[in-house]
Chain A
């Protein structure tokens, strides 16, 4: 058993080094390690003293996991986490490989793991999360999950696995009453995060939660929030945080009004969705840490965070800043378009079969754009048709990504703002590679 673990760790690590040199494919080493020692992930994770916090949902997983890890670290705990996008078993195993000793031991107090909603059930069995934070259920990857209702069922199973804490977004049509639709568990504390109605309704496309039909138990927004976004000013938000539940039997446990603290936090970029991500991270930290939780450390942690790439990231190419807008799904694209200050002077779009059915572009409000300079990727013509019906001029369509990219980058710097590239995940990876950015799956400064 121990020998097998050592073999898994060593071989996995060697593959990892090789994969990095080639510039990609970070799930491969984890995959190999799991083949050599199938119990590697489960056993290593089970030894972590403060257990696992699982973060899942359609959108914002990486950002929120990154925020939560920073907040918990600011409280003095050693955190193991998976990098952005490495949210399948292989990805988590790959992340473990870089941190365990050859005997398979991990020097961490707690694991904070982004979990893919599609693998939620399997990962919940494997990871046995004590705490689960669920962010939202949006129209996401319908080709993969077919219906939002199915995503709701999958996330319900993840939620049901939590033993100590369950933290839910009360603004989400499906999550607002998820706790009442799963088996209860004594000792599980359920708490919510959200925003004041003026901010939630005012976000130009709401918070883009998927429609829910039938069997609606509670209206979104109707649950009391432990952490609430009460103000938003550019990339700063004010959170109102309810004091953590006091241990049973303490003298003020039945005080009528819970005490609340207001803190200011820095967000990765403008947008109510980021403020809700921060509120979710704060609420999860509060649930995990109990009376050790200090609201002021949330501000400190978020102030020091770097942006997780792919969402409003700036790439520097030949001395010019280029903004990347990732088109992960309709909701993220809409929110990112809405957060543009004005129509960008130069816009490039690249979408390929990583987005198999871009039908949803007919539900997107593209009014943030007044033209598109170039479109590439195998779905380019479908976007060109859409822009035609929207009367948004299209400069050129060229399925040759390298050529199209080269042409776009050759344009003189815009007079105001910077060049903007709207990319699906696969095209973002490809274009980063073309431009010579090596660390393909690293992402998100810790």
Chain B
């Protein structure tokens, strides 16, 4: 926290952990940190909850989580206030992981249930419409890049990602649209999804992919690429995905 910053550390920017962290999503940041640190790459985490403007220029990886609509409305002006900085980071190839309300706020537009329209930060070329039936339950995707991606879905909104790439095809659950089809947004360094909670816990390959993008930009290496503790955890996560995918449930 104090003293000279470690210059060869990977720097993670965690946006609005207080407002947007309802579903254990700070676990994603902890998982990113541990997966890098256990491989010998130090990590520095900066959090931003609004308030005095600060420079985000150092951020190698950006995370923003989800929250209830009340928190989303409060976070909205704070996100818009830093939109130019965030767009610059995205354009420069820094990886983003944005979940739920955070994903919506980093999009171009959100239409609320009452019809009001909020302008988003414009980092992701997507629009969100609140309303419709809420879906709550296990969520199973098939990603062309990663294979099965498994987690939990809890949303009352639809996302239009246009012709862009997605995280994967929906195998169980709803996904972006009324008709189950595709889930989330994933192109280049930008990953947004409504797979809530600690998505990286069940899907460590996603965490490693984000870390790899961040490391490549900085030219940072792992000293111990394959530590035993991660192998144990990843084996457990494989079982967790298998258990959910074998008998997915929803309300």
Residues of A that sit less than 8 Å from B by CB: 139, 142-144, 146-149, 211, 213-214, 353, 356-357, 359-363, 378, 380-382, 384-386, 388-389, 391, 397, 399
- For B27, give its contact among A362, A380, A381, A384 (CB under 8 Å): A362
Contact A359 B152 (CB under 8 A): yes
Residues of the A chain whose Cβ atoms lie less than 8 Å from the Cβ of B229: 388, 391
Q: Specify which of B24, B34, B136 lies most central, judged by the most chain A CB atoms within 10 Å of its CB.
A: B24
Best-surrounded residue of B22, B34, B233 (most CB of chain A within 10 A): B22
Partner of B18, one of A144, A148, A149, A211: A211
Bound-state Cα–Cα, A378 to B138, Å: 13
> Which residues from B are CB-within-8-Å of A148?
68
Known: A213-B74, A357-B154. A388 touches B233 (CB 8 A): yes
* Contact partner, B69, options A147, A356, A378, A382, Cβ 8 Å: A147
User: Which residues of chain A have C-beta atoms less than 8 A from B47's C-beta?
Assistant: none
Contacts of A143 in B (CB 8 A): 136-137, 154, 251
Chain B CB within 10 Å — which of A142, A149, A357 has the most? A357
A384 in contact with B24 given A143-B136, A356-B249 (CB within 8 Å)? no
A-B contact pairs, 9 of them (CB 8 A): A139-B22, A143-B154, A144-B251, A146-B136, A147-B69, A359-B27, A381-B242, A389-B34, A389-B201
B46 within 8 A of A: no
The chain A residue sitting closest to B153, CB to CB, is A357
Chain B residues within 8 Å of A357, by CB: 23, 152, 154, 196-197
1/0 contact trace for B227-251 toward A, CB 8 Å? 0010011001101101100010101
Most buried by B among A214, A382, A384: A382
B233: chain A residues within 8 A (beta carbon): 385, 388-389
Contact A362 B22 (CB under 8 A): no
Chain B residues, CB < 8 A from A360: 23-24, 197
Q: In this assembly, does B134 line the interface, its C-beta being within 8 Å of a C-beta of chain A? A: yes
Q: Which residues of B contact A (CB under 8 A)?
A: 18-19, 21-27, 30-31, 34, 67-71, 73-74, 134, 136-138, 152, 154, 156, 196-198, 201-202, 229, 232-233, 236-237, 239-240, 242-243, 247, 249, 251
| Cβ-defined contact, B22 with A381, below 8 A | no
Which A residues touch B202, using CB under 8 A?
382, 385
> Complex Cα distance A211/B20, Å?
11
How many cross-chain pairs have Cβ atoms below 8 Å apart between A and B?
107
Cα distance A391–B233 when bound, in Å?
10
Contact of B237 among A139, A149, A381, A399 (CB under 8 A): A381
Q: How far apart are A141's CB and chain B's nearest CB, in angstroms?
A: 11
Knowing A353-B249, A356-B137, A381-B243 are in contact, say whether A213-B71 is a contact too (CB < 8 A): yes
Pairs A-B, 8 closest by C-beta atoms: A362-B27, A359-B197, A362-B24, A147-B68, A381-B240, A388-B233, A359-B24, A381-B239
- Note all chain A residues with C-beta closer than 8 A to B30: 362, 389
B25 to chain A, nearest CB (A): 7
Q: A359-B27, A363-B26 are in contact. Are A146 and B236 (CB under 8 A)?
A: no
Q: Do A362 and B198 have beta carbons less than 8 Å apart?
A: yes
Q: Which residue of B lies closest to A359 (CB)?
A: B197
Query: Given A359-B198, A362-B197, A381-B240, is A149 in contact with B22 using a C-beta cutoff of 8 Å?
Result: no
Q: Is the CB of A385 within 8 A of B74?
A: no
Interface of A is mostly: helix
Residue of A384, A385, A399 most packed against chain B (CB within 10 A): A385
Taking CB atoms, residues of chain A closer than 8 Å to B251 are: 143-144
> Which of B23, B236, B237 has the most C-beta atoms of chain A within 10 angstroms of its own C-beta?
B236
* B56 vs chain A, min Cβ distance (A): 23
A397-B239 Cα distance, complex, nearest whole Å? 10
CA distance A211 to B26 in the complex (A): 15
Q: How far is the CB of A149 from chain B (nearest CB, A)?
A: 5
Q: Which of B152, B201, B242 is the most central at the interface, judged by chain A CB atoms within 10 Å of its CB?
A: B201
In contact, A362 and B239 (Cβ under 8 angstroms): no
A139 to B19 Cα, complex, angstroms: 14
Bound Cα distance A214, B154 (Å): 23
Q: Give which listed residue, B70, B138, B156, contacts A356 with CB less than 8 A.
A: B138
Q: Judge whether A381 and B236 touch: CB under 8 Å.
A: yes
- Knowing A382-B201, A389-B34, the reply to whether A149 touches B239 (Cβ < 8 A) is no
**Which residues in A have their C-beta under 8 angstroms from that of B136?**
143-144, 146, 356
Give B194 Cβ to nearest chain A Cβ, in Å.
13
Question: From residue A415, how far is it (CB to closest CB) to chain B in Å?
Answer: 28
CB <8 Å contact, A142 and B198: no
Q: Assuming the A-B contacts A142-B23, A362-B198, are A213 and B70 also in contact, with contact meaning beta carbons closer than 8 angstroms in the complex?
A: yes
Say yes or no: A362-B236 contact (C-beta < 8 A), given A213-B70, A378-B247. no
CA distance A144 to B18 in the complex (A): 22
Q: Which residues of A contact B69 (CB under 8 A)?
A: 147, 149
Residue of A nearest to B69 (CB): A147
Is B68 within 8 A of A362, CB to CB?
Answer: no
By a CB distance below 8 angstroms, the chain B residues around A363 are: 21, 24, 26-27
Hey, which chain B residues are within 8 Å of A391, CB to CB? 229
Contacts of B152 in A (CB 8 A): 356-357, 359
Complexed CA–CA distance, A381 and B236 (Å):
6
Q: In the complex, what residue of chain B is closest to A330 when comparing beta carbons? A: B24
Contact partner of A214 (CB less than 8 A), chosen from B26, B74, B197, is B74
Task: Kindly state the separation between the CA atoms of A139 and B24 in the bound complex, as whole angstroms.
Answer: 11
> When the two chains form their complex, are residues A362 and B201 in contact, meaning their CB atoms are under 8 A apart?
yes
**A399 close to B243 (CB less than 8 A):** yes
B19, B21, B23, B74 — most chain A CB neighbours (10 Å): B23
- Give the distance to chain B from A11, nearest Cβ to Cβ, in Å: 31
Given A143-B154, A214-B73, A382-B201, CB of A359 within 8 Å of CB of B23: yes
Residues on B with beta carbons closer than 8 Å to the beta carbon of A380: 243
Assess the A146–B154 pair: CB atoms within 8 A.
yes
B243 and A388 contact, CB distance less than 8 A = no
The minimal Cβ–Cβ distance linking A2 to chain B, given in whole angstroms, is 40
Tell me the minimal C-beta distance from B177 to chain A in angstroms.
Answer: 20
